[in-house]
Amino acid sequence: MSPLQRDAVSSGNLALPPLNFRAARRRLVGGLAASIVIPIVLVWLYASYTYHRAITEESSTLNRFAWIAEAKVTDLLDVNRQLIARADDAIGSRDALQVSRDAQYLHTVFASLVASQPQIATLSVVDSDGKLLVSSRYFPAPNVSIGGRDDFTSTRATLSRFHISLPQRGPIQGIDIVSSLSARVAHDGRFLGALVISLHRDHLVRFYQQLHAEHHAVTVGLYRDDGAILVRFPPALLPHPPATHQLLAGEFVRKPERGFSKIDSPLDGKPKLLAYRRAGPYPVYVSAGLATADIVNSWLRDDMSIVLAALLPCTFLWALIIFSLRRLRAEESSWNSWRHELSRRQAAEVAARRMQRMGALGNLVASVAHDFNNLLMVVGANMEIVRRKGYNGVKPEIDAVERASVTARALARRLMSVARRTPLRVQTVQPGQWLTETKPLIASALGSDVSLHIDAIKSSWPVAVDASEMTSALVNIAVNAKDAMPQGGSFAIRCSNITFATSQHGLTPGHYVEFACEDSGTGMVPEVYQHAFEPLFTTKQAGAGTGLGLAQVAAMAEQAGGTARIDTSVGRGTTIFFYLPRLIEDAVAKTPGPIASAAESDHARPTLLLVEDNEEVAAGLAAVIDVLGWTARHVPSGDAALGILEEGCAFDLVLSDIQMPGTYDGIRLVEWVKQRRPTQAVTLMTGYAEHLETARRLGVAVLSKPFNADDLDALLSSIRPMQTRY
């Protein structure tokens, strides 16, 4: 905040900004854009010009190299043709027998012809089968045949007067050579053999090295007209290059004399510019190539350094404008902060108080619901005792209490669900079948003025969820939808499989089942739907709603490993989505039954050690246990139960609450029993969901509070006394 603004605040007056931030920013941004765009356009024009100039210069260099190489090769091949002609004159019309008879004379003639030509390895003549008859280097001629070589068979087949061979190693000297072959043909057209001039390949390589030394990025090559590679320097970069350059062979056909092209080199694996020329009338071509990357690097090094130097003053201008923009933004931020500081502080204080209130409310709800469950346990136990004793004339009253207890249990369960502490009865649910079975209940919640449509595919994936919680969630959504459509409307539930490849809606990638509940009601304004999933938030009149409906939907989805969201707009209805993860086989941990063995009792009735810190709950349970034909011994804590078990007392079943005062709660008591008395049957009781997973990992059964006498009877009926006693 500037000093002027501080003075205005201290004096109680609201000072207006000393400048129009938007106009100033517009001018600065315009200047920055112009200072960037104009130099960039000029740089682009200069770069385009210099790049094309570099391409032109390098193209001229390649053409010059190709011309020099072509002249050298043409001279060599002219010498070869002259030597062939003179050797042919010396041989005349002699056949193979006559050539062999005059071998010494012909050897002398051939040796004199090549004596002044160091590039020639040998001048020789072979018969029609390729057998060596005369050699300029050896007399008598070695017993060598070239009848199996491709160049000889091609010369014999075409009666070529000038054929160039592929590079090969000489069979006598063991050096690399390139041979020129000329067919000898009799007057009657018979093939008599061939004259062969072998050229030292190193002679061409040394010459190409000299050219390469002038421009180290240039590659020079000699090719046959079919693209066969005769000489290339430097060698190919690829580890296993082809023996034939097919791309160049195509260019030779398209432009037979000379040409210039851009190709992807099959020898180096790079884009290259190539200039090539035909060596006189001969079926060979020379080429000079340069990688486009080398041209670009040279262009960047020589021309773009000038551009960078020219852009240096621009960078100072850019830095100045950016600094001014930042300063302007800082001044504007200070001004806005000064204006909105109070409102932000008030909003933060309201949010903090609200979060504290919601946290305290959640703890309060859970605590009240837990105590309420204990009271319901007492009421339910005593009602069961009264029922089993024949009511004694109070049956209508007991039935009324039971109905009220059922409603109270549902309310307690909703409170625990909203607080994320309800013990879940997770089971496998097939959504399509389950929606069909639940349809009447949902229709009843909607009423007769709202039409219901359910669209669920039969192949929907199974999910692991507490079915009663999901039923409550759909009923809550239906009730809210009904309230949003006072004049009637439509309500649709769609169920489909969906896969998220990336994290969406706060869910990790994976397979999910999507439930979409859509109504045609009035929709919600943003101020409402942003708080719709919060506990006890409601827009209904006092007494018309508890604010637990959508909060229970979100709690159900999150406890099942999914999430819930809202898509709504005013006048277009509301769609509530909730996602449940796909059930993988054997993913649902089945609650283990009680350990099917216990200590044999000396009494006729089975015995049970009841560990419960709430005396009223314990008294009610003990009475029901007695009615069910068992004898219960009650202790108020895990420490007391541990003392009894350490004394060696035997029980058919240990039934313990989880959350109790003292050193040993229900979990630690089970761990001790598992270690010291592994055959002892143990079952735990709890009203909190967070205890369930720990209990299931220990392999013990869990009764979710509040439970009724039928649940307890089913548990006790599954216990089988052991024949062995502690």
Mind giving me the DSSP string for 520-533?
-S----HHHHTTTT
Burial class (CB in 10 A: 0-12, 13-18, 19+), 41: exposed
Q: Buried (b) or exposed (e) across 499-521, using 16+ Cβ within 10 A? A: eeeeeeeebeeeebbbbbbbbbb
- DSSP codes joined into one string, 157-185: HHT-SSEEPPPEE-TTT--EEEEEEEEEE
> What span, in angstroms and rounded, lies between the C-alpha atoms of 194 and 171?
17
How would residue 51 be classed by pLDDT, with cut points 50, 70 and 90? confident
The set of residues, in sequence order, having a beta carbon less than 8 Å from that of 4 and lying 6+ positions away, is 15, 18
Indicate if the pLDDT at residue 399 is higher than 80.
no
pLDDT, mean of residues 464-481: 84
Which pLDDT band, with edges at 50, 70 and 90, does 33 fall under? Answer: confident
pLDDT (tens digit per residue) in 255-275: 989 998 888 888 888 899 999
Instruction: List 490's β-bridge partners, or say none.
Output: 451
- Cα radius of gyration (the chain): 50
Of the CA atoms within 13 Å of residue 547, those in its CB half-sphere come to 17
Closest CA to 71 of 303, 286, 268, 312: 286
pLDDT at 6 over 60: no
529 vs 9, which has greater pLDDT? 529
Across 134-145, average pLDDT? 88
Matching residue, tokens 């759909």 = 474
- Other Cβ atoms less than 10 A from the Cβ of 334: the count is 13
pLDDT at residue number 595: 38
Please give the structure tokens belonging to residue 648.
């060696």
Q: Which two tokens stand for residue 374?
A: 């204990």
pLDDT surpasses 70 at 556:
yes
Query: From CA 83, how far away is CA 88, in angstroms rounded?
Result: 8
Residue burial 291-325, b: 16+ Cβ < 10 Å; e: rest:
beebbeeebbeebbeebeeeeeeeeeebeebeebb
Question: Which residues of the chain form CATH 3.40.50.2300?
Answer: 607-717
561/580 Cα distance (integer angstroms):
6
Q: What is the CATH number of domain 424-581?
A: 3.30.565.10
More confident residue, 601 or 473: 473
Task: Report pLDDT for 151.
Answer: 87
Cβ pair 539, 549 in contact under 8 A: no
- List every span in the chain annotated with CATH 3.30.565.10: 424-581
| Higher-scoring residue by pLDDT: 633, 469 | 633
Choose the weakest-confidence range: 142-146, 533-537, 651-655: 533-537
CB of 588 within 8 A of CB of 595?
no
What's the confidence (pLDDT) of residue 7? Answer: 43
Longest dimension (CA), the chain: 149
The average pLDDT across 410-421 equals: 57
Q: What is the mean pLDDT of residues 593-610?
A: 57
pLDDT of residue 601: 39
Whole-number Å distance between alpha carbons of 302 and 396: 105
Using 50, 70 and 90 to split pLDDT, how confident is the model at 278? very high
Looking at the structure, give the CATH architecture of the domain made up of residues 607-717: 3-Layer(aba) Sandwich (3.40)
Interval 341-352 mean pLDDT: 72
Question: For position 194, what pLDDT does the model report?
Answer: 92
